[in-house]
């Protein structure tokens, strides 16, 4: 029952997290597009009101005319919409999902004893410290180096180095699947912290000054814009890290930290293309195609680099009578009794009479037959079970299961 309820919690939290993330990222992308697409107002009345840019758009059968004021509107509206709950809701649901999916059962999902043999509480504390330490370093870089003519470039380089260091450490401390997710959650936490500590407080100060008739300090807008721009470049790297847990060939690679860095870099480069593309259409930027090309080239290089070694040719293998005999012998030995022994030794801990993780039980021939397809996918094809190979299954044992399944998965 506990596993069943956790599965429901996982599903509902994941659903809510995706919905809120769509709302947050969608609004972020829209406002980046809006800022890049604004043109100086033509109407003299708009100019007198202090409008610095306008945009005409058509959507859903209607025409829209958003305008942006350089400093403050002539009249502060009573109904002012604030964009922050999209961010906060995304972080809250994401952290709850991380807790249910990884932290609650840290010994299975977070700890890889071949990397670091520590207790679950220690692993949890270390994982959570990534969020706080990364934010402190990132915020310090923005504070110390974000000023001056080359401030943005220096901050960008510093944050890139910081992400690389964090990715390397995470992949050498935690199970690969968890490491990728933690790096994504770490960056997403920083994105939400930007909203909580800088963007919204600055906007509240500006609104309060306008209402009180005080001069508006432009520094709040500058800081808020800086952090907002950082957030838009973080989005695609975060999305890759979050989706990667479904693709074991990424986080199970021997150099998984480099895979993560390359894919996040490509995401940021492709995002730069879209950011600059809006300005290019108005003649403000050179064609940003180089950024997209670099991002795609990095992905293509990663695909080639990570390509698995080709399997030995079946035709050449059976040319040898001795090889044919070995293959036949392995198949003969690979009956259900042999597979059942592997399942008992490697799978019963999580899928037996006492515990049924994910509501999967494998301690009877009928149940093994029922879950044979899933077992083949998880154990043989994806090699993500047993989780972090906690029970020490061998490649020969995976091969035994492969031969048994491909021979019909018989349990009689």
At 115-167, the pLDDT tens digits run: 898 999 999 999 999 999 999 999 999 999 988 888 899 999 999 999 999 99
Question: Residue 326: pLDDT above 60?
Answer: no
Are the C-beta atoms of residues 162 and 233 closer than 8 Å to each other?
Answer: no
Cβ neighbours of residue 218 closer than 8 Å, sequence gap 6 or more: 71
SS (H, E, C) 218-270: CHHHHHHHHHHHHHHHHHHHHHHHHHHHHCHHHHCCCCHHHHHHHHHHHHHHH
Are the C-beta atoms of residues 37 and 55 closer than 8 Å to each other?
Answer: yes
Q: How far apart are CA 131 and CA 95, in angstroms?
A: 11
Q: What pLDDT is stored for residue 1 in this prediction? A: 58
Question: Residue 314: pLDDT above 50?
Answer: no
Mean pLDDT of 40-57: 93
Question: Residue 318: pLDDT above 80?
Answer: no
Task: Identify which has the larger pLDDT, 395 or 258.
Answer: 258
Q: What pLDDT is stored for residue 5 in this prediction? A: 82
Task: Identify which has the larger pLDDT, 111 or 234.
Answer: 234
Q: What pLDDT is stored for residue 315 in this prediction? A: 42
Q: What pLDDT is stored for residue 237 in this prediction? A: 97
Mean pLDDT of 273-298: 86
Mean pLDDT of 253-259: 94
Residue 293, H or E segment: helix 289-305
What are the domain boundaries of the chain?
2-74+83-305, 326-406
Mean pLDDT of 232-249: 92
- Confidence class for position 2, pLDDT limits 50, 70, 90: low
At 222-237, the pLDDT tens digits run: 899 999 999 999 999 9
Q: What pLDDT is stored for residue 378 in this prediction? A: 83
- Confidence class for position 371, pLDDT limits 50, 70, 90: confident
Has this prediction a pTM greater than 0.75?
A: yes
Q: What pLDDT is stored for residue 300 in this prediction? A: 97
If we measure between CA atoms, which residue out of 386, 383, 380 comes closest to residue 362?
386
Angle of CA points 358, 359, 365, to nearest 5°: 120
Q: What pLDDT is stored for residue 408 in this prediction? A: 84
Mean pLDDT of 400-412: 86
Question: Residue 354: pLDDT above 90?
Answer: no
Q: Which of 3-7, 69-73, 189-193, 361-365 has the lowest mean pLDDT?
A: 3-7
- Confidence class for position 334, pLDDT limits 50, 70, 90: low
Question: Residue 331: pLDDT above 60?
Answer: no
Q: How far apart are CA 185 and CA 173, in angstroms?
A: 16
Mean pLDDT of 178-197: 97
Average pLDDT, the chain: 88
Q: Which of 49-58, 175-184, 337-346 has the lowest mean pLDDT?
A: 337-346
- Confidence class for position 327, pLDDT limits 50, 70, 90: very low
Question: Residue 71: pLDDT above 70?
Answer: yes
Q: Residue 392: exposed, middle, or buried by beta-carbon count in 10 A (0-12, 13-18, 19+)?
A: exposed
Question: Residue 100: pLDDT above 60?
Answer: yes
């Amino acid at each position: 029952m506990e596993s069943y309820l956790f599965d429901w919690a996982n599903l509902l939290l994941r659903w809510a997290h995706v919905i809120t993330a769509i709302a947050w990222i969608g609004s972020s992308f829209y406002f980046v597009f809006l800022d890049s697409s604004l043109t100086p107002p033509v109407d003299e009345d708009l100019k007198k009101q202090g409008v610095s840019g306008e945009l005409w758009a058509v959507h859903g059968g209607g025409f829209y005319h958003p305008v942006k004021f350089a400093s403050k509107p002539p009249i502060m509206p009573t109904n002012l919409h604030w964009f922050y709950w999209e961010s906060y809701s995304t972080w809250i649901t994401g952290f709850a999902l991380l807790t249910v999916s990884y932290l609650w059962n840290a010994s299975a999902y977070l700890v890889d004893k071949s990397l670091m043999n520590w207790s679950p509480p220690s692993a949890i504390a270390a994982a959570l410290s990534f969020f706080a330490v990364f934010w402190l370093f990132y915020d310090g870089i923005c504070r110390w180096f974000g000023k001056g003519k080359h401030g943005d470039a220096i901050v960008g380089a510093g944050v890139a180095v910081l992400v690389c260091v964090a990715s390397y450490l995470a992949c050498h401390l935690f199970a690969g699947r968890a490491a990728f997710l933690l790096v994504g959650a770490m960056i997403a936490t920083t994105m939400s912290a930007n909203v909580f500590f800088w963007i919204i407080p600055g906007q509240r100060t500006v609104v309060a000054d306008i209402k009180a008739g005080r001069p508006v300090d432009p520094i709040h807008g500058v800081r808020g814009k800086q952090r907002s721009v950082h957030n838009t470049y973080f989005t695609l790297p975060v999305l890759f890290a979050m989706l990667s847990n479904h693709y074991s060939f990424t986080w199970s690679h021997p150099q998984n930290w480099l895979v993560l860095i390359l894919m996040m870099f490509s995401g940021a480069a492709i995002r730069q293309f879209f950011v600059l593309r809006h300005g290019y259409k108005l003649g403000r930027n050179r064609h940003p195609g180089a950024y997209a090309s670099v991002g795609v080239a990095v992905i293509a290089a990663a695909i080639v680099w990570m390509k698995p070694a080709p399997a030995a040719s079946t035709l050449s293998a059976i040319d040898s009578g001795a090889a044919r005999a070995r293959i036949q012998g392995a198949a003969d030995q690979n009956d259900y009794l042999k597979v059942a022994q592997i399942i008992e030794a490697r799978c019963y801990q999580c899928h037996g009479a006492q515990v049924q993780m994910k509501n999967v039980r494998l301690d009877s021939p009928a149940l093994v037959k029922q879950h044979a397809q899933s077992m083949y996918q998880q154990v043989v094809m994806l090699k993500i079970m047993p989780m972090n190979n906690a029970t020490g299954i061998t490649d020969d044992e995976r091969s035994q299961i492969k031969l048994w399944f491909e021979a019909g998965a018989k349990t009689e």
